[in-house]
Structure 1
């Protein structure tokens, strides 16, 4: 279309011709038919193109990101759900079989948009899952609540309040603001173990790799959701050498599972990992979590992406 040529040229200079053509169509499609219930931050195609040319991730500009059959709201600084996370969540949904007669309690740590537990709530039968989702970011918790409503999942405000909607043999979702690395985390988060399934896509990028990330990531997505090297004195469970390898949160999660009874006998622990981290994370889980069997799942691109442990 002739009137789009200046915008296409502007976008091409920033991201290349092919990507510009594809993304311009997505932008126009979102403006013409905005996803139901998702807050739009752009009022014109010109604004969208200007923001994208400046380096902002497309998902934040569109305001949404597909995740399995769901369309989730996204906005900065909350981490954008990635395809590799979607892949293993779908696989997990096919591997486990909760039912209304045997409902599962799920704990998702570092939940971000709520993508993992919300997709499981959507895929599993009504009344078969009760999910608790934890994050340190108020922005993430607010967005996770909005996504629950958007996806039609019964959501609770927190452990001490009434549900945001009335449960009627439905899957439920409770997002809670808490610091996973805090010494009194379990009390702070008002957890009620044991859980049948614990999932997490924790921060796992080492500082050296984080420093080399493109500006489109570092300038927009929350560093707390990415950097796995925590300077926090609360992270003392990780040896000094592992606190520079993006492994801090795996030590904490494994210690909580092994020392505080978070995971039920017969339960499953699923942890997303970064490139090359699977052997180290498997060893941490083996040493600290008190599990019997550990598997490593590869993502569709052949990378070891998830450490799955069973008690």
Structure 2
């Protein structure tokens, strides 16, 4: 899904990426979620993408990533460093040590040029990032469970997000609030498998990622809970059932901090999310010829001008 929108760009691109287990089975306990969390950082480093934030759940995961512009050069020394990060020691499916790769690249004969081309192809690409991440985790999971067969229900979902701080902050908050929506915690800081909690715990990479959406974690928390407060101030006191009824049945509006505690299909099925101008331009550049598509304003709250690339009506809020 979303293959067309992964075309090369001459500027930074942001993607909300999602994948779910087969049949949505809750297969991941604490150990599995911790392994997947670590693999996200490991594969992101290899792929040359920045993780803005993430959430690993019992049957799915979300990642918001920043992808460098097309044509971003990677030196041979950096290729070797990234390769060593992903393959710290030889494996049956990748027996070449990093030192051998380094020698091939230095010699610059045919083998070195082919290796450089293949590794570079895997850089700065969300499809390659997700393919590598999901394949590596599947191999680990199946070995640890004496299991075989597919683990994931589909390729993955992707929503292109405008590189505007408000659009990114809203998507990031939606991701970090996953565990709250699932009823696992009342505050995302208490869920160890999300970017916000890792950042508060002192994680250097997690803090650097969230700095993309807000330089101050306290400011970002205002997006999670509403300006200046938390649930104790009544910002999200309405029940989930009542919120969905108001949003879905009455077509009403609620504070953003309340809406973000519902499942909102804009973030998973909206194709592209950002200002109307950004969405319109992105749709015009689509190669599939569907020129009749237009931006659709988000409803249910004050989204400050955000729009998506497809009209969503059925079960928009859950």
TM range (shorter): under 0.3
Higher strand share: 1
Higher RCO (CA-CA < 8 Å; seq separation 6+): 2
TM-score (norm 2): 0.27
TM-score (norm 1): 0.27
